[in-house]
Structure 1
Amino acid sequence: MGNTHIQLPDWNTLAAMDDGALPLLPTALLIARDEYPGLDPAAYDALVQSHADHLRIEVAAIESTALKMAAINRHLFEEVGYTGNHDAYYDPRNSYLNEVLERRLGNPISLAVVQMEVARRLGIPLDGVSFPGHFLVRLPVDGGLLVMDPFNGGRPLAVEELRERARPHLGGEAPDDKVLLQILTPAPHRAILARVLRNLHGLYAEAGEWDRAARSVDRVLRLIPEETDALRDRGLAYLELGHLDGARRDLTRYLQLSPEASDAEDIRERLIDAAGRRAVLH
């Protein structure tokens, strides 16, 4: 059975870690622990391991990588029943891996993490793709690429469908082969985890849950300290929470790093307004 001594990383060490050393499942569970302080990482690691163990003999007997992957998808999406949460796409639980593993419901990126973890434990080099819109996964097969949609049962996507999916995000232009290949570059773990956190920030900011919104972008900054958008978003969340010193620090730094940003003028006005509020408070 799986290793029951899974070690969650420490938020303070992630920025210094090499991209290749940043563990995907443990860091995803670390994100979930913010919201679920009592979660048992070993239990979720063992659950992922049990999916892989169930498939091990079947997958080993299959020759082609594409057919190995088809067996993994059939087990995860048909037998175990993982599925995209089409009814409540914006439920934050779709982003927390403990909830995804328990409820078998998720969004594209969390389902991709489950799919990647199981495949990799079976020696299949499945990678995530930060595709515009929906997160996807990719697998090198016979000199080509198999691209799949974890939100829709791991369905393989043809090149034409990928072009059409990318088109709205590229000013209405369908990407040529070169651009499409660039878009399909494997996403490093750091980028995957930051995207999970940005999704959470967006949901919480939309709902006016500013403490959770601030926490989500603070965690992005633990992964990528130089991420200017996260600095701005944390500052704006602090402003909503009345944490004026923190807001001023973050937003001033944001303006230093991005003086030409399209929202720089708006941010300056908000800082001046906050300084006025501070004067009234004292």
Structure 2
Amino acid sequence: MHDRFALPEWGQLAATDDATLPLLATALLIARDEYPQLDAAQYDATVQAHADHLREQVDQVEPWPQKMAAINRHLFDELGYAGDSEHYYDPRNSYINEVFERRRGNPISLALVQIEVARRLGVPLDGVSFPGHFLVRLPVDDGVLVMDPFNRGRPLDEDELRQRARPHLNGEAPDDRALFQILNPASHRAILMRVLRNLHGVYSERDDWERASRSADRILRLSPDNGDALRDRGLAYLKLGYKQGARADLARYLQLNPDAQDSGPLRERLVELSSCASRPS
């Protein structure tokens, strides 16, 4: 079974709906950019081995939280998956193959491991694009159980969730309605795009503009009219001296976002690029 595990093609992803966009396979596709010899089937088999080890134990209990507790215990206590607090911004924490190899990751990559293992055991775990750190959620009788994959799957209560959200909401704690919206399940596309945004941020901080442009480009393969990614790729192209690509991306960004806060400086930059292009060499 595992030797037939295949990765999608980048050109197929924009037309693939969220319901059928493969989470693990596309995360491995992202990793293959950096690790071209990556054996995707090996990591699919790793996930399956984790699930197979847990299956009998998980099947013996009924409530979802007890099943999830067994999964978390195996992943974090027995196998040693953990949040990489010491080197949080190491790009390896965003590449899922490295997470499987090193048993270290950031919140979203560890959530991806949790989600893949849980779902293979019939446990309906979803991701949550929470501001700041990515979280996971599990349906329970009276609502949802929200957990922090970066801290060994620790459950979070409403008060802690409100406090965690506050710095990202101008210091205001979300009310019940806003918190409920924040805790909506993240689509596979949203999860993968957040992985790529993290990589873009890491590489931009390192002035690695080739990889930064690649990360933005991959977001655009998932969502072709994503304004932030068009801007980010265009600015990275500028750093790389690829003026034609920068001009096209920034023009498209401004077309889609004419009233963006950064529209003024970018329009000036676009005029400069256009004038450079029109000058005789």
Following superposition, the deviation at residue 182 of structure 1 comes to 0.5
Within-5 A mapping of 1:261-272: 261-272=260-271
Residues 4 and 45, structure 1, Cα contact 8 Å, conserved in 2:
no
Aligned residue runs from structure 1 range 205-244, under 5 A: 205-244=204-243
Q: How many angstroms does 1:227 deviate by?
A: 0.5
Q: Answer whether contact 1:92 1:200 (CA < 8 A) is retained.
A: yes
> Matches of 2:133 and 2:30 in 1, distance apart?
20
Cα shift at 1:271:
2.1
Within 1, Cα distance between the matches of 2:280 and 2:128?
A: 48
Secondary structure, aligned partner of 1:19: coil
Aligned length in residues: 281
DSSP-derived class of the 1:261 partner: coil
Pairwise CA RMSD of aligned residues?
1.2
Partner of 1:179: 178
Tell me the distance in 2 between the aligned counterparts of 1:263 and 1:106: 33
Structure 2 CA distance, aligned partners of 1:226 and 1:253? 8
Match of 2:104 in 1: 105
Q: Which residue of 2 aligns with 1:260?
A: 259
Equivalent-residue separation in structure 2 for 1:62 and 1:231 (angstroms): 48
Aligned residue identity for 2:250: L
Structure 2: any 5+ residue segments left out of the alignment?
A: none
Gaps of 5+ in 1: none
Deviation of 1:278 (Å): 4.8
In the TM superposition, residue 232 of structure 1 has moved relative to its aligned partner by: 0.8
Aligned pairs for 1:1-282 (under 5 A) are 3-275=2-274, 277-278=276-277, 282=281
Are 1:210 and 1:237, in contact at CA under 8 Å, matched by a contact in 2? yes
* Superposition deviation, residue 3 in structure 1: 3.0
Deviation of 1:64 (Å) = 1.5
CA-to-partner distance for each residue in 1:94-117, whole Å, 9 max, x for gaps? Answer: 000000000000000000000000
Determine the C-alpha separation between the residues in 2 that align with 1:275 and 1:45. Answer: 48
Name the stretch that deviates more: 134-143 or 2-11.
2-11
Distance 2:143 2:217 in 1: 39
Tell me the TM-score normalised to structure 1 length: 0.97
Cα offset, 1:30, TM superposition:
0.1
| 1:65 partner amino acid | W
How far, CA to CA, are the matches of 2:122 and 2:79 in structure 1? 20
Q: Distance in 2 between matches of 1:275 and 1:144?
A: 55
Q: Normalising to structure 2: TM-score of the pair?
A: 0.97
- Offset at residue 58 of structure 1 (A): 0.5
